Amino acid sequence: MNVNQNRSHAPRTRQEHQTNSYNKNNTQRNDTLIYALGGLGEVGKNMYCFEHGNEILIVDSGVRFPEEDLLGVDYVIPDYNHLVKNNRKRKVLVITHGHEDHIGGIPFLLKTVDIEAIYAPAFAVALITKKLEERKMLRGVKLIEISDRSSLKMHHFTCGFFNTTHSIPDSLGILINTPNGRVVHTGDFKFDLTPIGSNADYQVMAYMGQIGVDLLLSDSTNSGVEDFSISEKKVAAEILDTMKKTEGRLIVATFASNVYRVAQIIEAAIACGRKVIIFGRSMENVVTIGRKTGKIKVGEQHFLSPEQLAYTPANKTCIVCTGSQGEPLAALSRIANGTHRYIKLIPGDTVIFSSSPIPGNGASVNQVINKLFRAGANVLTKSILGNLHTTGHASQEEQKLMLQLIKPKYFMPVHGEYKMLKQHKDTAIETGIPSENIFTCANGDVLILRNHQVFESSWRIMADDIYVDGNDISGVSTAVLKDRKILADNGLVAVIIAIDSRENKVLTKPVIVSRGFVFIKDSQGLLKEAEMIVYNALNEKMQQRTTFSELKNCVRGTLEPFLYNKTHRNPIVIPVIINSKAAMQALQQSRAARLTQRRKPMPN
């Protein structure tokens, strides 16, 4: 591990010395800037930047999965505009581990920002390679595997790495030497004294604390959880014990990215004489990569194909699937809804949730659990009586241990909602770090590291959320999201108008079509009245010279207040103007057909 520090020994002029003494809130040429484009005030889209001179070292590039009110949004990513503006600067990306909130944004980042190379641990390299191959983006990307023995040397930054324990293999923390001081970034971590995988590098952490660390950035996700977290080995024993007691078919849902947990589940199933079948695309990918990298050491003979499932006794099968967070399209949700291609729930099935709901997902998870119970399944979740899950993030006592090992002069809690950052600050104060040396920042806030001292800058970097629909990284605007919200709540009204622009007149009464606003058969009077109001307004408007744009505004300005007064709802109003007599005739025929349909008697 490289702990040598690059120092600038160039003599300072008197003017420079005075600037350093009095200009504390503005950046100077030799400052090291530290800021987050994502990961502060939220759980997800982690992206932390270290900038000095003509170089930017980026740690992680993640996504955040959208909340329910972000209709149609697939991912939330950071705003890369600051990096785009600095595209001439040399940029290197370092990945701490392979979770989506740390690697999911890489394809979007590479589309807009010039990245010289991506450095990542072995398992993350496999996941990133798969991700870029699927998007046909792997060619031209320099992807370099790192470990705790690797070092990364740039002109201004020198990085060393150390092993941490997390819920995915090959999780690393980073020591960053800069011209102005040492920074440690823990990545996601926990302290597990009996881990399933490799142990954390306690000695290296303690050594870094002895040689001196100026600033620590540390994981805050479980800042509100007291004591130590449960060991993975206890979870493994609980899962094995549960499987031994289960007589019927077994379905286990967990995070696909928790490779050690998936390996435990598969090994426990085999120990109980069960064959394993995997469902869910992300789960299938992780198991394939886990077996290739040796993290899941299970032979092909222990797995079932979907076609073999129907011919295997229920007490000899174990289904491992995605959907532990109640995702609508995940395997478990489709099983609960009865829409899965290969699995139909039968009374006596046992479903194990080896996970805890992420904040905000509780309602979705409960909905799936209720459907499973209705189908006659026995559902087991983590509770006081059963340790079927443990976290991959440090609880308060583990956070204190990290702070005591690293002994930083300054501290910046990262990776968490604001309350988590604040709770982590309180924990740091308990360990002896002065309150004024702790920075509870938001995305875009800039810290200045200058001559082993850290303070906040008076300026900020734009670090807004970008909403991605599909693969379009231009982002869905807030106006589009507002329209989607209106459509979801109030529906849509289309007004079809036939005019003759040569004679400057409306050819026939408008036709109003409603979707999601009112039920047409029950609202004929309302729609007829609306048609007449729009018709009269258009006739008055077309007494003078006008434009298509003004006609559309006339329709909206007339119809929207009328509909709100009648229904207290604000649907989106879309005027459609047809400028031809032939189209007018087709519109009249359509109107006649619609009237005929309305007059048909309802079936008994």
> 166 among the known binding-site residues?
yes
Centre a 10 Å sphere on the Cβ of residue 179 and count the other Cβ atoms it contains.
Answer: 19
> 74 among the known binding-site residues?
yes
Strand residues in 32-180 grouped as ranges (E): 32-38, 47-52, 55-59, 75-78, 90-94, 117-121, 143-146, 151-153, 158-164, 171-178
> 97 among the known binding-site residues?
yes
> 390 among the known binding-site residues?
yes
3-class SS at 481? helix
The residue annotated as part of the active site, out of 60, 201, 219, 349, is 219
Distance of CA 10 to CAs 13, 158, 179, Å?
10, 19, 12
Q: Are 375 and 368 in contact (CB under 8 A)?
A: no
> 472 among the known binding-site residues?
no
> 9 among the known binding-site residues?
no
Token digits for 488? 């979801």
Task: Classify residue 504 by its DSSP letter.
Answer: T
What is the enclosing helix (H) or strand (E) of 352? strand 350-353
3-class SS at 260? helix
**Residue whose tokens read 């009374």:** 347
Instruction: Reply yes or no on whether 219 is catalytic.
Output: yes
What is the enclosing helix (H) or strand (E) of 319? strand 317-321
Distance from C-alpha of 493 to C-alpha of 574, rounded to nearest angstrom: 6
Task: Classify residue 23 by its DSSP letter.
Answer: -
SS3 content of the chain, % helix, strand, coil (to 5): 35, 25, 40
The residue annotated as part of the active site, out of 393, 424, 445, 465, is 393
Distance of CA 345 to CAs 305, 334, 368, Å?
18, 10, 13
> 457 among the known binding-site residues?
no
Q: Strand order in 47-52's β-sheet?
A: 143-146, 117-121, 90-94, 55-59, 47-52, 32-38, 445-450, 453-460
> 52 among the known binding-site residues?
no
Distance from C-alpha of 497 to C-alpha of 510, rounded to nearest angstrom: 5
Ramachandran region, residue 265 (left: φ > 0; alpha: ψ -120 to 50; beta: rest): alpha
> 201 among the known binding-site residues?
no
> 114 among the known binding-site residues?
no
Annotated binding residues for Zn(2+), written as ranges, equal 74, 97, 99, 101-102, 166, 188, 415
Q: Which residues make up each annotated binding site for substrate?
A: 256-258, 389-393
Residue numbers belonging to the annotated binding site for Ca(2+)? 72, 469
Could you tell me which residues are annotated as the binding site?
A: 72, 74, 97, 99, 101-102, 166, 188, 256-258, 389-393, 415, 469
Q: Which are the catalytic amino acids?
A: 219, 393
